[in-house]
Amino acid sequence: MQSHDRRISQPSPRQRRFWVVAAGTLLPCWACLLWANGANDAAAQVAEQTRAFTIASDTLSLEAPAGWQRVQPKSGIVETEFSIPAADAGVAEQIGRMTVMGAGGSVAANVDRWYGQFSQPDGSSTKEKAVTKTLKLAGCSVTLVDLSGTFKDMPGGPFAGGKSIDRPDYRMLAAIVETPKAGNYFLKFYGPGKIVAAHADGFRTMVEGMVAAGK
């Protein structure tokens, strides 16, 4: 029986410079680059869409800073939640948390409640050390609050009835957005002081960049 020696020609060194193996098929380098760029663009678009969120019945739009990860809210009263990892975190607990929710009560009553969630190691007044200011953004009055100390954390939310956890050296940046028709909305970013400090500018930029949805 006559045998047939079937030989597959191999690309020359010059050809190998222009071809790579991808998914079991020889593709030109330019095709692989286009594919990779397309995949990167798609991933970037998904990340961009994940960072964008709305409040007040979808009438106001905001965008979280890059690197913030949108997660399933831990509490049923929270509408939107982000996890903010430390840049050098090696411990899972070393993360920040931002929650977004609508709630009742006056601005003053809620700010006073936040003061009560923080205590100072030296026994001084949290209220006296806190910084607050009011801005006009997207047609809304927005109250910004910056406070720190030992935080009485209630992971399940203030109305869940769970056990609180004291967390020393914590900081909270919060914004209360008073909307004309949908009531007050609360954005609270809190966590270890170093993490909040590292992302403080991003939080403020997010709040100050709030616009009417669709613009």
Quick: pLDDT tens for 79-90. Answer: 999 999 876 645
Report helix, strand or coil for 146.
strand
What per-residue confidence (pLDDT) applies to 154?
78
pTM: 0.74
| 17 lies in some domain | no
Query: For 163, phi and psi rounded to 5 degrees?
Result: -75, 140
Q: How many residues does the chain have?
A: 215
| 38 lies in some domain | no
Does position 42 have pLDDT exceeding 90, yes or no? Answer: no
Report helix, strand or coil for 81.
strand
Does position 72 have pLDDT exceeding 90, yes or no? Answer: yes
* Domains contained in the chain, number: 1
| 146 lies in some domain | yes
| 180 lies in some domain | yes
| 45 lies in some domain | no
How far from 16 is each of 30, 32, 57, 69, 142, CA to CA, in Å? Answer: 13, 14, 57, 41, 61
Which residues neighbour 1 within 8 Å (Cβ) at sequence distance 6 or greater?
A: none
Q: Which amino acid is at 8?
A: I
CA gap 161, 158 in Å, rounded: 7
Task: Please write the tens of the pLDDT for every residue from 92-104.
Answer: 556 899 999 999 9
What per-residue confidence (pLDDT) applies to 175?
98
Q: What is the largest CA-CA distance in the chain?
A: 100
Closest CA to 170 of 186, 194, 201: 194
We report the CATH number of the domain holding residue 130 as 3.40.1000.10
| 21 lies in some domain | no
- Whole-number mean pLDDT of the chain? 81
How would residue 152 be classed by pLDDT, with cut points 50, 70 and 90? very high
Closest CA to 172 of 116, 73, 98: 98
| 196 lies in some domain | yes
| 141 lies in some domain | yes
Q: Which amino acid is at 68?
A: W
Q: What's the domain range around 63? A: 53-212
| Pairing, β 131-137 against β 140-153 | antiparallel
